[in-house]
Amino acid sequence: MSVFPIAGAVAVGLALVATAAWAGLLGLLMAATRTPAVPTGPPTGVLPPEPPAVVDLITGGWRLCDEAAAATLLDLAARRVLAIEEIGPELSLVRLSRNPPAQPLTRYEQMVLEHVAGLARDRVVATAALAEGARHLGRWWKRFTRAVIDEARAAGLSQPRWSTRHRMILHGTAAVPAALAGVALLVLVPVDAYEDIDSMISAFFVAAGVTFMLLSRLVERLGGERGTPAGAAAAARWLGVREQLGAGRFADQPAAAVTIWGRPLAYAGALGLAERAVRSLPVSRPADDQRAWSDYGGMWHPVLVRYRGPGPWGRLFWARRGWPAVGFALAAGLFSGFWLWVLGLLASVVGWPDGLATPLAVLGALAVGGPPLVGALADLTHRTNVQGQVVRLRRHNRKANGSDVTHWLAIDDGRGRVVHAHGVDGPIWAGLVEGDLVRALVGRSWGWVYEVQVLRPSRHRTGGRNGDDATGHPRPAAAGGPPAAPPPTPRRRAGRWRATPGPAPNR
């Protein structure tokens, strides 16, 4: 309770009025700096000179969508920097040219080409494998966006929403409501709540600072890019091209059709008209948890990753180390035995033979707990070596509070197209990168990894990591959710095409 309730109310009121006035100023500046109206130009088949990624930017409200990366790859294919070949309905290849590009590439084109080259084996990578690799997708996308925006600005099509003067005005005036918020806090909190004058000053600066930061953050969030008059005119022309291309059947064309269609397919991709081609080139999308692409053995191939073991007990007991698995098997046996015993007792009440409860309980306990117990005991003594390439490293919270985390390690040993991800200790997991060639000592029954030896480090190790946290691995998911939260992904245009997130694991 404030000592000066009226003064407190006045101070809060002043702070609110100042904030409202500042918001009004912000609104005025936003109206003054909005992108000029972009009418759709007359339909035309003549392609203006802007590259597809820039077209994506200026026709998407000056925000880059994730078709831009795929459209850039299609454009590179149309210009013979690389080739996209269809081997089957579910397999296409990107093949790098033997010769260097005839024309210099832009920074973002170089980024796409480097990503492809980093994945390629013998100059070849499967299109679906373009989501693989160990890059940090969020950072990669940021650099890509920056490069596209720089090119659009250099061409006079785009400019930052806030000029230096706008920023100075907005940040400078934000100091007023921030200071009034600090004063309001001082007036509202009783004087005796402070230990000394220093703590009062600190409270003022904390309140003012937090308010200032929030307002500044709002300014930056509302910043971004806006179109210049030239950009709006170019966007109008491209919308006319979109009208023309929309009459074609680009939506069903595979990426390999770029051999026939050439650059119009790349532009159709940038304009959101070539859904199938763009979707088949996941350059800027996170890798699927359950469908990995591996180049172990020299050729890219798909590998289905299961986050559980084989057989009926695989869901419950897989990825558990020896002694905990023994305990879990005993607990499962006792639990089922107890309830079967209770069931037997109830059955005897309704006329079933007496003495059925105990044998039923024993049999049930043995049936449920016996096989996993044998498997768990076997894991304590008999382990096997698995050698192959790490294709997935994921974390999964068994509990919502994150207290029980399972670290998953999926190894493609080249013997099949389905692999069961193993459980592994966090410290071992943290030292691995997708693409590492490893030899792992694994429990035969319940798939716990006891030792891992890296035989050959991943070639992606030098290129950063795919994860999103400090260790370079994806963040853990909430219990019951997917095994890892995807890294920040590029924006998709509403209504263009549906996102296809990786399916959730079975545990």
In this structure, which amino acid lies at residue 258? V
455 binds another protein (CB under 8 A): no
Query: Among all chains, which residue has been given the structure tokens 């409200």?
Result: 61
- Asked if 100 interacts with another protein (CB under 8 A), we say no
- Rounded to an integer, what is the distance from CA 235 to the centroid of its chain? 30
DSSP string for 207-252: HHHHHHHHHHHHHHHT-SEEE-HHHHHHHHHHHHHHHHHHTS-GGG
First to last CA, the chain: 51
Rule CB under 8 A: is residue 122 a binding residue for another protein?
Answer: yes
Q: Which of residues 380-419 bind another protein (CB under 8 A)?
A: 417
Applying CB under 8 A, which of residues 6, 32, 89, 198 lies at the interface with another protein? 89
Q: 100 or 353, CB closer to another protein?
A: 100
271 binds another protein (CB under 8 A): no
C-beta of 255: minimal distance to another protein in Å? 15
The CA-atom distances, in angstroms, between 362 and each of 316, 329, 372 are 20, 14, 16
- Find the shortest distance in angstroms from Cβ 394 to another protein: 24
Map residues 51-80 to x or -, x wherever contact with another protein holds by CB under 8 A: ------------------------------
Reference 253, options 71, 49, 47; nearest CA is 71
The residue among 86 and 150 lying less far from another protein, judged by its C-beta, is 86
Part in contact with another protein (CB under 8 A); list of ranges 88-96, 250-258, 278-286, 369-377: 88-96
Q: Which range binds another protein by CB under 8 A, 45-53, 89-97, 174-182, 258-266? A: 89-97
- The structure tokens listed for 352 are 């079933």
- Based on the shown chain and the rule CB under 8 A, indicate whether residue 93 belongs to the binding site for another protein: yes
Alpha carbon 88 to its chain centroid, in Å, reads: 28
Return the exposure string of 419-434: e unless at least 16 CB atoms fall within 10 Å of the residue's CB, then b. bbbbbbeeebbbebbb
Show the tokens assigned to 369. Answer: 């707990």
Q: Which is nearer to another protein, 165 or 415 (CB)?
A: 415
98 binds another protein, rule: CB under 8 A: yes
Amino acid identity of residue 240, one-letter, is G
Rounded to whole angstroms, the maximal C-alpha distance in the chain is 91
The stretch near another protein (CB under 8 A) out of 85-93, 128-136, 167-175, 496-504 is 85-93
Site for another protein in 291-350 (CB under 8 A): 297-301
Nearer to another protein, 299 or 342 (CB): 299
Nearest to 268 by CA among 285, 247, 289, 288: 247
Q: Which is nearer to another protein, 232 or 419 (CB)?
A: 419
- Concatenate the DSSP letters of all residues of 39-90 into one string: PPPPP--PPPSS-HHHHHHHTTTT---THHHHHHHHHHHHTTSEEEEEEETT
Binding residue for another protein, selected from 77, 112, 119, 124, defined by CB under 8 A: 124
Region near another protein per CB under 8 A, out of 19-27, 83-91, 233-241, 433-441: 83-91
Q: Give CA–CA dist 209/207, Å, rounded.
A: 5
Task: With H, G, I as helix, E, B as strand and everything else as coil, classify residue 126.
Answer: strand
Interface stretch with another protein, choices 81-89, 322-330, 374-382, 480-488 (CB under 8 A): 81-89
Reduced to 3 states, what is the DSSP secondary structure of residue 370? Answer: helix
Compose the 457-476 pattern: x for residues touching another protein by CB under 8 A, - for all others. Answer: --------------------
Shortest distance, position 214 Cβ to another protein, whole Å? 54
- Answer left, alpha or beta for residue 480, where phi above 0 means left and psi between -120 and 50 means alpha: left
The distance of closest approach from Cβ of residue 259 to another protein in the complex, given in angstroms and rounded to an integer, is 13
Closer CB to another protein, 98 or 498, in the complex: 98
Strands 437-443 and 383-397, by their bridges, are antiparallel
Closer to another protein at the Cβ: 171 or 301?
Answer: 301
Work out which of 48, 85, 194, 218 binds another protein, going by CB under 8 A: 85
Cβ atoms within 10 Å, residue 286: 20
Q: For the CB of residue 95, give the shortest distance to another protein in the complex, in Å.
A: 7
Choose between 172 and 416: whose C-beta lies nearer to another protein: 416
Q: Based on CB atoms, which residue is closest to another protein, 146 or 417?
A: 417
Q: Tell me: does residue 88 bind another protein (CB under 8 A).
A: yes
Q: Strands 301-306, 418-420: parallel, antiparallel or unpaired by DSSP?
A: parallel
| Of 91 and 347, CB closest to another protein | 91
* Cβ neighbours, 10 Å, residue 279: 18
Taking the least distance from each CB to another protein, the nearer of 24 and 297 is: 297
Tell me whether residue 300 or residue 318 sits nearer to another protein (CB atom).
300
Q: What Å distances lie between residue 466 and 94, 151, 394, 407, CA to CA?
A: 21, 27, 11, 16
Q: Toward another protein, which CB reaches closer, 124 or 137?
A: 124
**Number of residues lying near another protein (CB under 8 A):** 17
- What minimum distance in Å lies between the beta carbon of 86 and another protein? 8
Neighbours of 203 (CB within 10 A): 16
Interface residues with another protein (CB under 8 A) are 85, 87-91, 93, 95, 98, 122, 124, 297-301, 417
